[in-house]
Amino acid sequence: MNIVRERYEQLPYPQVVVIGGGFAGLEVVKGLNGKPFKVLLLDKQNHHCFQPLLYQVATASLSADSIAHPFRTTIAPMPNVAFRMCSVLGVDPTARLVHTDRGEVAYDILVVATGSSTNFFGNARMEQEAMQLKSIAQALDIRSDFLQDFEAALYAQDEADQRQCLNFVVVGGGPTGVEMAGALAEIRRTVLKREYRELDSERMQIWLVDSNDRVLRSFSERNSARAREYLETMGVHLKLGARVTDYDGEVVSFSTGERMASHTVLWAAGVKGVLLPGLESAMVPKANRYAVDRQNSVVGFKDIYALGDVALMTEEDWAHGHPQVAPAAIQQAQWLVRNLIRSQRGSAMEPFTYKDRGSMATIGRYKAVVDVGRIHIGGLIAWLAWMFVHLMALVGFRNRLQVLMGWAWKYLSWRNTVRLIIRPYVRKATVTEQEAAVSTR
């Protein structure tokens, strides 16, 4: 290990520091493999997480290790790449330093690929009480939570208490919200009905809430209507044109004045870029992203680039920036690699142009929608296309094989396979009550 480290540090190349090992960051690392650069990847986790399938970990369809891949496994064969696990605290552009909880890291070229976090649009109470889905840890919390709710429902004293345990509210009608609601509906039809026979499965209610007048608003109207039909056929209740205004851990309040008892609210209503102290002058507050030019260079800073969810680049067809999705992040990263190599050779950097590869979402078995240009398909063909694209996008052969086997077993057996409460989820309200009880003794 020391030999590898010394060889890395002595390379006579410019130091490229990549912050974040998501889709964009990992693509930069892979692209610069073997090129005349020293590359250092920084991330607070030791693994890449395939976020599009997080909801399947949350709903017990896949194990966590099926969608995670260790960074060190990826970079081990790369002679000019190293990895450090740390939390980035800020950037000093003048001194060309990255401040971390493990010390300072010098850079010649900095790539900010910090991704996004859940956007609660200033609702502090929702941020405190609602569950979110941006990491494997959060997915495992959701999995434990709904399984614990099923167990708790068996002990409920009356029907109202039982319904509260089995009432699930998903906020946000985009792909994540639609996929989560559909997966919960399948769990009601299979797991709850077959394995919790003491319960009336019809008491489990799934509500999908969105302030827009239709689900999957970024999709074509045809596929948006298809998705709505699929959801309603599966028994999901749609609450459109309404906003969740408050949630105290027990009761959800809506902008319409309605209130609903629920132990579980899943927030999937939006994302915002993860920004770093030191680059405030380039921040666009409304978007919570960094303004970048067509070469992904952060406006006002030399040799600092931002990619993916945290980058706000405008084009003629994308006046409000590119969508915060994996294909945009990957394309930007690949183009930046090309530009860095061109720059190293003395050539000028070329402007980036985003190519929209389409959108897809799955709602349930044989139910999916795909938009590619003017082509709008749904049903079995779309479902198979969704599975193929996501399977091939996974990092590592082992992950692809695990996911393929997991899907095969699930769709042959009609069961979600990973229904284990290994790490029980403790609600924040419960923790607060316990602390209060201790303080009064």
For the chain, which residues score pLDDT lower than 50? Answer: 1-4, 431-441
Say if domain 2-44+86-118+272-344 classifies as CATH 3.40.50.300. no
Burial of 216 (0-12, 13-18, 19+ CB in 10 A): buried
- The domain limits of the chain are 2-44+86-118+272-344, 124-269
Catalytic member of 27, 129, 179, 186: 179
Looking up tokens 């996911």 gives 403
User: How far is Cα 268 from Cα 46, in angstroms, rounded to an integer?
Assistant: 25
Residue indicated by tokens 């002595």: 10
Q: What is the CATH number of domain 124-269?
A: 3.50.50.100
Q: Which residues pair with 205 in a beta bridge?
A: 167
- Tell me if 2-44+86-118+272-344 shares its fold with 124-269: yes
**Helix (H, G, I), strand (E, B), or coil: what is residue 322?**
coil
List all residues 6 or more positions away from 294 whose beta carbon is below 8 Å from its beta carbon: 313, 315, 351, 352
Which residue is listed with tokens 């005349």? 36
**Do 253 and 259 meet the contact criterion of CB atoms below 8 Å apart?**
yes
pTM for this prediction = 0.89
Length, in residues, of the chain: 441
Sheet holding 311-312, edge to edge: 283-284, 289-291, 311-312
pLDDT of residue 157: 83
Evaluate the CA torsion angle 102, 104, 110, 116 in order and state its sign.
positive
Cα–Cα distance for residue pair 376/359, rounded to 1 Å? 10
Would you tell me how many other CB atoms lie within 10 Å of the CB of residue 283? 19
Q: How far is CA 378 from the centre of its chain?
A: 24
Cβ-Cβ contacts under 8 Å for 2 (sequence gap 6 or more): none
Annotation marks residue 179 as catalytic: yes
Distances from the Cα of 340 to the Cαs of 78, 295, 411, in angstroms?
18, 10, 45
Tens-place pLDDT, residues 137-170: 999 999 999 999 999 999 998 899 999 999 999 9
> Any alpha helices (H) in 32-106, and if so which ranges?
54-58, 71-75
Side chain identity at 396, as an amino acid letter?
G
